[in-house]
A and B are shown apart, each in its own frame.
Chain A
């Protein structure tokens, strides 16, 4: 369209620009190296090095036909690595390959722009793999660098002042931030994707599953990874630690070794009686690749994307593949006295591994107790008094875990106690089942929320006591009552040694470290609540709580547009530059002179030239005509000619002062 375009477009990139562009490209692709195939990453790095060396050594261009070979190699690598899988990885690999080929052609300003745009698109693909805070920081830093390079390319001065570039882009970014935030909050979110995709298939995460076997929970307990976080609506009314049972899969079926939750649970309704106050809270679950949502015992109100089973376990309809926040209400005190005969039958089913030793043991205790409650108490007492040890690393149980644990090793973790307790109950004719979940949780004062870690994984029992309904019994408390009051410290355990519980941190450093850890955790939760997990529901929640819930559908879109426009205008006004009053010194003097003339009654219109004014003034102030003419003559020379001597300027100054 215009030659001024062309001149810029074909301007050659200089060496520092070349190197910064290559560094930028490398940094932009870097996080992808960790999940893309090694071949693609190597290809990219090789091309980058090739380009670097050909430029450094020969300063020349490689032959054109080599580009063709590189193109072919790149395509072959992408196709062979991701054959049959046209997905995210394929697309990103193709992008990386395309970028590396573009590097080979990088010569001019225009090439740099095309390259930067491609890289800009690659930056956003990082978020498909991880949405952690550090990657966001990394990507935004690179986006800043991208703008920096844009500005650099547009700078004419050979020696660009880097701090000036930095501040210019910094100012621009500062202006953009509020606009970005407004768009982010108000931009309407869709419910589903525009087209189908399988997000993060085959994710390997640790967490409680529907299967419990000896060692499965103690294995989890060695991990301090966060399972979920809980934010209570009323922070003054939080259930005590011993009431914080986070209910996961409820398991009735067993062969005596493995305990398995129902594969296809039936959707049920909640039909228990609440006894105490309701607790409402939000659970922010980490990706688990499972369905379980660990509601506080017992859940009463659940979000729409979940359902509840007949044994009151909450399940998400889809597997939890990314961090998600759920709103729930629970009653920590309840009377769950409804059940079905099928449920009771299932809860009485005995596996084949029940030994005579176990039956004899139950008979002995049963004879000495009048009621079921008394029987339960005597089993608990047995655990407490008969040298049972609570340990994360119990000795291996070979053929009959329950029998060997109860009578030989007597060392176990919560799943050993819970499962063997349930078996003993069933032998005695009391319907019983195992509940897996988490217990307790650590209070984060920095974020006012509870952190539940994998090390808080727990298993307990529920027994049917007729009128009292399903009652929670935690046999672990019989051996280690601290377990329900304090969390296990996963960093402090030795093989076979009794579990160490967390007590408050000691010393200044310890407390400071603990504080820092709490802050980081709070930041992480808020990051999720307000950024990564800002879904349609969170958006609605935000709008409701700010009284803006009348903005629905298209109105929300319009408000996003209007508000962001207002933000842009505000930013433009706030950041507009100042105009300094460094007029031409001659002009300053002349303006002063004109003001004096106006005082004397000479009418000067704005826009009148100095000659017009001088002629006009000369007619009115006839006796000062000479000095007026002299002043205007020197002024015209100073303003319209190239320069006046300092002496002449002094004369002008004096003449105007004396006037």
Chain B
């Protein structure tokens, strides 16, 4: 049977399958105290449903002040045997207790889907976009999403029965995988007396390419002119490949058919008789530190792709044959980004 627990609600719904609470001792040993806490996890489709048992709740400092207020009112009412004082005290006390539930409920059964993130270059920022689906017939107010290590907090009200996209910005520093696993979803709605929060175990990994060097002229040793292979018969305006449109491109070169298919602006690239082949490898820069070399090669890949030359990449552990096109460029950038990074980290 299909999964239908999203709308089959009870007061205390079962938590999502695969309760991830690693052993207490394991957590202590690894000094990863975060693991001691329950956290919400995505299901196999990648959706997260905030289950009842995943939500933590504690009073805020205002909640403690509110409790002090109610206590003071109670003592006063007892002392003066003031029944109206009792009434007001009990009214506010009831509101305070109900606020626990309201705050907790504000997160309960919220559905989160993280949208895929495109790779970025080191030093650039990326935005993680989370689709928050509220299936309740009432709004969820002031939901906050933030990364514990980051600075920014994203807050939105989510209207009844609707979807709101939250965007959290991360700034990358090094190439490789940027993993996002310290996201917290929290709320103090409605009265600000309690704060409920959920640790999100997202395990999102964003590929970060090496930071491209500002400029690097590829040494002549990397270029081989192979005119015989370059000759494709008719002449200098043979269609070779597509590449992303740049604003300097002539409109004549835009492939309008692709645009009509809603696949974006693509520029047609033409090649001529003279076809250069470019082999990029670490050997081209023997004296530079590895990271600098990788960043220069990244620059070379970007430039080569822009100029429309055929290029290949040779690394000690892998070789990407000569080629062109977006997929080829992605492969090369990926290989450079992950060079020397253990596969186990992936």
Q: Are A4 and B146 in contact (CB under 8 A)?
A: yes
* Beta-carbon contact of A184 and B66 below 8 Å: no
**A4-B186, A139-B88 known; A578 vs B137 contact (CB < 8 Å):** yes
B188 and A8 form a contact (CB under 8 A): yes
A598 near B142: Cβ-Cβ < 8 Å: no
CA distance A180 to B95 in the complex (A): 9
- Known: A572-B98, A639-B45. Is A151-B191 also a contact (CB below 8 A)? yes
Beyond A113-B65, A607-B3, whether A193 also contacts B80 by CB under 8 A is yes
Tell me if B288 is interfacial: C-beta within 8 Å of chain A: no
A residues in contact with B84, CB < 8 Å: 127, 131, 135-136, 139, 531-532
Contact of A183 among B6, B79, B90 (CB under 8 A): B90
CB-CB contacts below 8 Å: A165-217 with B: 168, 172-173, 175-177, 179-180, 183-184, 187, 189-190, 193-195, 197, 199
How long is the Cα–Cα vector from A581 to B135 in the complex, in angstroms?
7
CB distance from A116 to the nearest CB of B (A): 9
Cα–Cα distance between A365 and B216 once the two chains are bound (Å): 141
Does A120 contact B69, Cβ atoms closer than 8 Å? yes
Alpha-carbon separation in the docked complex, A119 to B314 (Å) = 74
Residue of B11, B137, B191 most packed against chain A (CB within 10 A): B191
B82 to chain A: which residues have CB within 8 Å?
124, 127-128, 131
Interface footprint category on B: 35 or more
| Shortest beta-carbon distance from A400 to chain B in Å | 49
**Which of B69, B81, B138 is in CB contact (< 8 Å) with A117?**
B69
CB contacts (< 8 Å) of A581 on chain B: these are 7
Interface pair B90/A187, CB less than 8 Å apart? yes
Q: Please report the C-alpha to C-alpha distance between residue A391 and residue B208 in the assembled complex, in whole angstroms.
A: 104
Question: Given A157, A175, A531, which contacts B157 in the complex, CB threshold below 8 Å?
Answer: A157
B192:A531 contact, CB within 8 angstroms: no
Query: For residue A128, which residue of chain B has the nearest CB?
Result: B80
Contacts of A595 in B (CB 8 A): 1-2
Q: What chain B residues lie within 8 Å of A176 (beta carbons)?
A: 91, 94-95, 98
1/0 per residue, CB under 8 A from B, across A559-591: the answer is 000001000100111001111111110000011
- Contact of A610 with B by CB under 8 A: yes
Whether B73 is near chain A, meaning CB under 8 Å from some CB there, is yes
Please name all residues of chain A whose beta carbon is closer than 8 Å to the beta carbon of B137 when the two chains form the complex.
Answer: 577-580
B92 contacts which chain A residues (CB < 8 A)?
A: 120, 143
Does residue A140 face the partner (Cβ distance < 8 Å to B)?
yes
Output the least CB separation between A466 and chain B (Å). 49
Min CB distance, A256 to chain B, in Å? Answer: 44
Knowing A117-B69, A199-B80, say if A578 contacts B136 (CB, 8 Å).
yes
Q: Is the CB of A150 within 8 A of B73?
A: no
Q: Is the CB of B87 within 8 A of A531?
A: yes
Of chain B, the residue at the smallest CB distance from A125 is B76
A598 to B3, CA, bound (A): 13
The answer to whether A640 touches B153, judged by C-beta atoms less than 8 angstroms apart, is no
* A184 pairs with B87, CB closer than 8 A: yes
Q: Chain A contact residues: over half helix, strand or loop, or mixed?
A: helix
Chain A 122-166 per-residue mask, 1 if CB under 8 angstroms from chain B, else 0: 011101100100011001100100010011011111000000100
| A123 and B83 within 8 A (CB) | no
CB neighbours (8 Å) of A143 from chain B are: 88, 91-92
A153 CA to B11 CA in the complex, in Å?
A: 28
Pairwise interchain contact B78-A124, C-beta atoms closer than 8 A: no
Cβ-defined partner of B86 (8 Å) among A117, A150, A187, A195:
A187
Determine whether B271 belongs to the interface, using a CB cutoff of 8 Å to chain A.
no
Query: Which one of A124, A194, A535 contacts B73 once the chains associate, using CB atoms below 8 Å?
Result: A124
Partner among A114, A156, A189, A609 whose Cβ is within 8 Å of the Cβ of B141: A156
A650 near B: Cβ within 8 Å? no
Report whether B2 and A197 are in contact in the complex, using a CB–CB cutoff of 8 Å.
no
Asked if A5 is an interface residue, CB under 8 A from chain B, the answer is yes
Q: List 30 A-B contacts (CB under 8 A).
A: A2-B186, A117-B68, A124-B77, A128-B80, A128-B85, A143-B92, A150-B192, A151-B190, A154-B190, A154-B191, A156-B157, A175-B94, A183-B90, A183-B93, A183-B94, A184-B90, A193-B80, A194-B78, A568-B101, A576-B105, A577-B137, A579-B137, A580-B136, A580-B161, A582-B161, A583-B7, A594-B2, A606-B3, A607-B44, A640-B45
Other than the given A573-B11, A580-B161, 6 more pairs (CB < 8 A) read A124-B85, A127-B85, A151-B141, A180-B94, A607-B3, A640-B116
User: Which B residues fall within an 8 A CB radius of A?
Assistant: 1-7, 9, 11, 17, 43-46, 60-62, 65-66, 68-69, 72-73, 75-95, 97-99, 101-102, 105, 109, 113, 115-116, 133, 135-139, 141-142, 144, 146, 151, 153, 155-157, 161, 184, 186, 188-193, 195, 262
The list of the 8 closest CB pairs from A to B, nearest first, reads A176-B94, A179-B94, A183-B90, A127-B84, A591-B2, A180-B90, A194-B79, A609-B44
